Structure 1
Amino acid sequence: MPPKLKTALFWIVAIFLVYAIITSPDRAADLVRALWDIIVSAFSSFGRFFANLAE
């Protein structure tokens, strides 16, 4: 991916995130909570998998 396109996409996403947070902070917080739950669940699953391998 060309560097200028990568930079442009980064700024577009950043501006969109700021806009989404400003216009609807409750929904943005719910989204962050949901993403955090997914991440925690994934790490927990990896931990259980490796714990079961060690048994």
Structure 2
Amino acid sequence: MPPVKKIVTWLLVIFMLYAIFTSPGDAANIAGSAWDVVANGVTNVGSFFDSLIARG
């Protein structure tokens, strides 16, 4: 059986490079949106734990 994880990873890398080279503006917008989602998630988790500590 071929290493499926390695094949999928290479396909994903190739697709990302293709997306960046064909439309760099759209790729940058997607990356910025993904970063915003991650940053907001971390902020919300921090706020959740801060509120738990404040109630104790």
**When the two structures are superposed, what TM-score results if normalisation uses the length of structure 1?**
0.92
1:25-51 deviations in Å (ceiling 9; x for gaps): 000000000000000000000010001
The CA RMSD measured in Å over matched residues stands at 1.2
Query: 1:1-55 counterparts in 2 under 5 A?
Result: 4-55=3-54
> Using the alignment, how far apart are the partners of 1:51 and 1:6 within structure 2?
38
Deviation of the 1:5 alpha carbon: 1.0
> Using the alignment, how far apart are the partners of 2:46 and 2:3 within structure 1?
39
Deviation of the 1:4 alpha carbon: 1.2
Gaps of 5+ in 1: none
> Using the alignment, how far apart are the partners of 2:17 and 2:50 within structure 1?
40
Gaps of 5+ in 2: none
Deviation of the 1:3 alpha carbon: 6.1
Secondary structure of the 2:3 match is helix
